[in-house]
Amino acid sequence: MSRPNPVVLTAFLLGILGLLGGAALLKGGLYVGKHEGDTLHLMQIVFRMADGQLPHLDFMTPIGALAFWPIARLVEAGLGMGMAILWSQVIMATLFVPITVWVASSRLGPNVALLFGAFVMVLLLALVHGEAQRSVSISMHYNRLAWAAAFVVILAAIVPPVHPRSGLVDGIIIGLMMVIMVMIKVTYFAAFALPVVVALFLSEQRRALAWALLTGAAAALAITAFVGVEYWLAYLGDLATVAGSEIRAAPGEPLGAILGAPAYIGGSLVAVAGVILLRQARVETGGLVLLLLLPGFFYVTFQNFGNDPQWLMLVAVLLLAMRPGSDKVLRNGFGWPLREALGVTAAMALALSAPSFFNLAYSPLRHLKLDTAEYTPLLPRGGVHADLQSTKLRVDRVYTRVALDGPDSMLASFGAPGVDSDPASFRGETFEQCSVELGLPTVMDTIVRDLEKAGLAEGKSLFAADIFSSHWLFGELEPLQGGAPWYYGGLPGWDDADYLLIPLCPVVPDVRARILTVIEEQGAEGLVEIRRTPLYVLYSKG
Tell me, yes or no, whether 437 lies in a domain. yes
Tell me, yes or no, whether 373 lies in a domain. no
419 shares a domain with 348: no
Tell me, yes or no, whether 463 lies in a domain. yes
Domain end marker among 317, 336, 353: 353
What pLDDT score does 10 carry? 97
Residues 417, 323: Cα–Cα separation, whole Å:
56
Strand intervals (E) in 387-542: 388-391, 399-402, 425-426, 429-430, 434-438, 462-464, 499-503, 528-532, 536-540
Domain end marker among 318, 353, 388: 353
Which of 115, 94, 120, 72 shows the shortest CA–CA distance to 25?
A: 94
414 shares a domain with 304: no
What pLDDT score does 484 carry? 94
Per-residue pLDDT band for 285 (boundaries 50, 70, 90) equals: very high
406 shares a domain with 346: no
Tell me, yes or no, whether 106 lies in a domain. no
Structural domain boundaries, residue 530: 397-540
Which of 1, 210, 6 shows the shortest CA–CA distance to 104?
A: 6
What pLDDT score does 250 carry? 64
Contact 303, 187 (CB under 8 A): yes
Q: What is the reported pTM? A: 0.94
407 shares a domain with 279: no
Contact 116, 156 (CB under 8 A): no
- Written in H, E and C, the secondary structure of 152-191 is HHHHHHHCCCCCCCCCHHHHHHHHHHHHHHHCCCHHHHHH
340 shares a domain with 470: no
476 shares a domain with 407: yes
473-476 contacts at long range (C-beta below 8 A, 24 or more positions apart): 473/40, 473/43, 473/44, 473/47, 473/379, 473/382, 473/444, 474/379, 474/380, 474/381, 474/441, 474/444, 474/445, 474/448, 474/449, 475/381, 475/445, 475/448, 475/449, 475/451, 476/448, 476/452
Domain end marker among 288, 320, 353: 353
Mind giving me the DSSP string for 123-149?
HHH-SS-SSS--S---TTHHHHHHHHH
What pLDDT score does 487 carry? 93
Tell me the average pLDDT of the chain: 92
Higher pLDDT, 68 or 336: 68
509 shares a domain with 455: yes
For residue 540, give the 3-state DSSP assignment. strand
pLDDT in tens, 493-514: 999 999 999 999 999 999 999 9
pLDDT over threshold 90, residue 482: yes
Q: For the residues 101-124, what does the mean pLDDT come to?
A: 96
Q: For the residues 354-368, what does the mean pLDDT come to?
A: 96
pLDDT in tens, 398-451: 999 987 776 667 776 665 555 554 678 898 899 988 999 999 999 999 999 999
What pLDDT score does 73 carry? 97
pLDDT over threshold 70, residue 483: yes
Tell me, yes or no, whether 305 lies in a domain. yes
pLDDT in tens, 213-251: 999 999 999 999 999 999 999 999 999 988 887 776 567
Tell me, yes or no, whether 243 lies in a domain. no
411 shares a domain with 337: no
Beta strands 30-32 and 388-391, pairing class: parallel
What pLDDT score does 1 carry? 59
444 shares a domain with 515: yes
530 shares a domain with 418: yes
Contact 490, 505 (CB under 8 A): no
pLDDT in tens, 116-166: 999 999 999 999 998 888 899 999 999 999 999 999 999 999 999 987 777
Contact 182, 150 (CB under 8 A): no
pLDDT over threshold 70, residue 111: yes
Contact 388, 379 (CB under 8 A): yes
What pLDDT score does 299 carry? 93
* DSSP 8-state secondary structure symbol assigned to residue 344: H
The total number of structural domains that make up the chain:
2
424 shares a domain with 532: yes
What pLDDT score does 465 carry? 95
Q: How many CB atoms lie within 10 A of CB 163?
A: 7
Tell me, yes or no, whether 109 lies in a domain. no
Contact 491, 527 (CB under 8 A): no
Q: How far apart are the first and last CA of the chain?
A: 75
Residues 172, 195: Cα–Cα separation, whole Å:
18
What pLDDT score does 432 carry? 87
515 shares a domain with 402: yes
Contact 6, 109 (CB under 8 A): no
Tell me, yes or no, whether 525 lies in a domain. yes
What pLDDT score does 347 carry? 97
Kindly report which listed range (26-30, 163-167, 312-316, 435-439) carries the lowest average pLDDT score. Answer: 163-167
pLDDT in tens, 33-89: 999 999 999 999 999 999 999 999 999 999 999 999 999 999 999 999 999 999 999
Residues 513, 150: Cα–Cα separation, whole Å:
39
